[in-house]
Homo-oligomer: A and B are copies of this chain.
Amino acid sequence: MLNEFGLIQQYFNRPAPEGYLGVGDDCALFTPTPGWQLASSVDLLIEGQHFFPDVDPFLLGHKALAVNLSDLGAMGARPKACLLALSLPEIRPLWLEAFSNGLFQLADQAHCPLIGGDTTRSKQGVVISITVLGEVSAGQALQRSAAKPGDDIWLTGTLGAADIALRLLQGRLAADSERLAASRGALEQPWPPYRLGHALAGLAHAAIDVSDGLVQDLGHIAKASQCAAHLEWDALPVDSSLDGLPADLQREAVLVGGDVFQLCFTGAPQQRESIMALAQREGVLLSRIGSMQTGSGVYVRDQQGLHPAPAQGGFDHFGG
C-alpha cells in the first residue's frame, strides 16, 4: 500500500513550470509580477454536503478547481497557482487518477499550476480544499463595492440548470433522464469565465461570481456599493434545460438556485460595446440583465411591475 508520500508523488507531483518551486519542500515558491497585486481565495468541498459520494471523480477534480478560478475571475485576476488539501478515507488509485486528471486538465488550460498541498486520512468522507493565487494589475481589481447607480448589470452564461440537476439527483423533482442529461453538466462540470473576468479588470466596475444564487450574490454587490439592483425578468438567460417546467419553479431556479459559477458584473453604459466585444472575443455568452439604481436591495421587474426579489434562499450552508 502506498504511503502518504508515495501518494503525493504518484498523483500530484507533476513538474512545476519554470519559475516555480512546486510540490516537495516546506513551501512552494514563485516570483510575483512586479506592479501587480496578489489575489487569493480558498474553498472547501465536503462529500455529502457539496458533492455526491458517487460523483465522477474526474468531474470533481475539475469542479474543485473551477469554483476557485471563478473567484479569481470575479476579482479580475488571472490565475497564477493553486494548492490542494485533500483528505480521503482510504487510497483508491482509480479515483485518485481520475480526480487528479480532472484537476490537472483545467489547471493546464488555466495556466494555474498545482504547486503545493497536503494529503491526509479522514475516517469520514472526502474533503477537498483548494487555494488559488492570482494576480491583477494594481488598482484594477473588480471589487463588490465599485458599482454605481446607472451601471448596467451583466451576466455570463445561463441560469437555473445546476439547480434543476441538483433537484433531479436528490429526487426533489420527478425523474426525467432527458432533463437530467441536459442540466447536470452545469452542476458537475462548471466552466467559469475566468479569462473574461481578467479581461474586464480596469473596464467593468463591480463583479461577483454567482455561487449562492443570483439574488443573494447580486445583493452583496448592492449592499457593498450602497445601491439597488433592478433585474429585468425577460432579460434573464434561462437555461434551455428548464423548458416546460412550471413557471414558479423556473423563477426559483433562476433567481435563487446556486452552484452557477457564472460572472455577474456591472459597468458603465458607455462601455457596452467594449464589454460585448470582449465577451465575443472570449466566446462567452453575455446578457445585460438590469441596472443599478439609487436605493438598496434587489428587485425584479416583470409584466406585473417591480417587486422585491425573493429575500430568502441561496445556498447558505448553515441557515437560510
Contact = CB atoms under 8 A, between A and B. Distances in A.
A117 interface: yes
Interface in A10-39: 21, 24-32, 34, 36-39
Nearest to A1: B319
B38 A117 contact: no
Contact of A209 (B26, B34, B224): B26
A27 B71 CA distance: 6
Interface of A: 1-7, 21, 24-32, 34, 36-44, 46, 48-50, 71-72, 74-75, 77, 81, 83-87, 91, 115-125, 127, 129, 131, 133-134, 136, 138, 141, 143-144, 207-209, 224, 316-320
B42 A83 contact: yes
12 contacts: A2-B319, A26-B75, A27-B72, A27-B134, A28-B41, A29-B37, A29-B75, A38-B133, A40-B115, A40-B133, A87-B127, A131-B131
Given A38-B31, A127-B87, A2 B318 contact: yes
Contacts of A119: 44, 317-318
Q: Count copies of this chain in the complex.
A: 2
A116 B131 CA distance: 10
A39 B41 CA distance: 15
A84 to B, nearest CB: 7
A50 B144 CA distance: 37
Closest 8 CB pairs of A and B: A3-B319, A26-B74, A124-B124, A27-B39, A32-B32, A44-B85, A27-B75, A129-B129
Contacts of A83: 40-42, 131
